[in-house]
Amino acid sequence: MKSHPFFSILIFLFFSTLEIACSNNDDSVEPELTLSKQELAFDGTISTQKLAIETNVDWSVSSLDSWCVISPAFGEAGNKQIEVSVLENPMSDQRIATITIIAGALSKQIKVTQTANVNSIPADKTGMNSDALVLATKMKLGWNLGNSLEACASSTSASETYWSNPKTTKAMIDAVKAAGFNAVRIPAAWSGYIDNQTTYKLQGTWLARVKEVVDYCVDNDMYAILNIHWDGGWLQEHTKYTDQVEVNKKQKALWLQIAAYFRNYDEHLLFAGTNEVNTGDSSTPTEENFKVQMSYNQTFVDAVRLTGGRNTYRNLIIQAFNTDIDLADKNLTVATDNIEKRIMVEVHYYTPWQFCGMEEDATWGKYAVLWGTDYKQYATGELDGRWITGGEEEYVKTEFAKVKAKFVDKGYPVILGEYGAISRLSLAGDALKHHLDSRAYFLKYITQQAKIYGMVPFYWDNGYSGNHGFGLFDRGNHAIVDTQALNALVEGSAANYPY
């Protein structure tokens, strides 16, 4: 058969390449190969180690296991450092890979071992008998340890006292219980306590400190909710498709560690995946934002369940977009869970904002100091126009009825994770009295209606009790500083749940 010119060209190129390779690795040179390590050991997480190669000829390296990745995979004679990276080990057993390094006629092998994912142990239902609805009934009135463990300037800077609150003590939590609360929501920051930004490995000292605070609650026969709060906004303010992969990677890595560290606690400890996840720029959320945010909820649930043990049955809390009731009603899909009836939903309530948090008049409205139909009569003199003209009693019932129908009636109790209204202590005389009475009425009414509609109320306390503050206690000496507001909350909490 007549030879085709194309094949002649291929043959020429093949022998030319072989000649070049031979010239680079001269057979007269005795190959030498020195490795800095003979074996590499990894834990079960995503991680990377460096390996030094010294050789007098060109070299290449390979691995037949896809979970073990080498970069670069080849090089010229000399000294070179390569990176050996492993993926997370999802199995329950150790796995082993072999890396082969070839230098001329010489080859050496390196054994790579990766332990089983230490975050996974057999399921354990001990002390975890209460499903979501049953557990919700055990939480009578909740309090937020606000502006403490979540205090941070950015996603990489954090300190428990950064926002001016003192370090939390057991005496502080004892005072909270004595005041009538039996549950504590613990907002927490984590990103500023990461030792390794590649694997997101958390500092053991920070995990231990958070555990101390959790123990103050649980050892006191109180329920505790531990979350990832604002945390510099790395998750909370990133809900675009372009954010989704990297944020979910970090979300999973952090929750695998948090859940594993706290998995031996019984049902007194609950986890909440995020906080007020939003668009990051105050824009109207889109379908994209909702889908991305719900993927963060799902990643949280999956990560916690993966750790096994008591976490297999732990009650978990997912959030509505921006923890907004209307957005929950219209857009939230409850995360898929392989354990039935162990999911709760979280919303917050600072409505109307003009009364609850607005400090100064704005172009879109005036701040209000009075709330409730019985307090309109006091909107005269210096309080003229300072009565809120919307968002009062009937509105509250309408809003709370939405979450009851959408979630509670379907077996998903709702955590009212934050609510409250600032105290306007710059007022004086009758104006101050009417405001404080109205505020107390608001707190009692919201607490009461929350329970009637199946929501577990957690009052927002930021530790500040001055003008525009939410504080109930002096966190320095643990004394009650707002008895009127506290009494209103306790009185409202006497209402019964509908389940």
Alpha-carbon torsion 455, 322, 131, 340, what sign? Answer: positive
Q: Tell me if residue 246 is catalytic.
A: no
Cβ partners under 8 Å of residue 439, min gap 6 = 371, 421, 423, 485
Q: Which residue has the tokens 């695998």?
A: 256
Nearest 5°: phi and psi at 389?
A: -105, 40
Q: Which residue has the tokens 């809900």?
A: 239
| Residue 61, SS3 per DSSP | strand
Distance CA 150, CA 154 (A): 11
Distance CA 440, CA 471 (A): 13
- Per annotation, catalytic residue among 88, 160, 276, 346: 276
Distance CA 451, CA 403 (A): 12
391: closest CA among 449, 453, 437, 431? 449
Q: Which residue has the tokens 């005036």?
A: 366
Q: Beta strand pairing status for 201-202 and 194-196?
A: antiparallel
Q: Which residue has the tokens 């998750």?
A: 235
Alpha-carbon torsion 227, 230, 232, 233, what sign? Answer: positive
Q: Tell me if residue 39 is catalytic.
A: no
295: tokens are 């993927």
Number of H helices, E strands in the chain: 11, 21
Distance CA 213, CA 195 (A): 21
Q: Which helix (H) or strand (E) element contains residue 49?
A: strand 47-55
Alpha helix ranges (H) inside 90-129: none
The strand ranges marked E within 56-199 are 59-63, 68-71, 74-75, 78-86, 95-103, 106-114, 142-144, 152-154, 157-158, 183-186, 194-196
**Residues classed as catalytic:** 276, 418
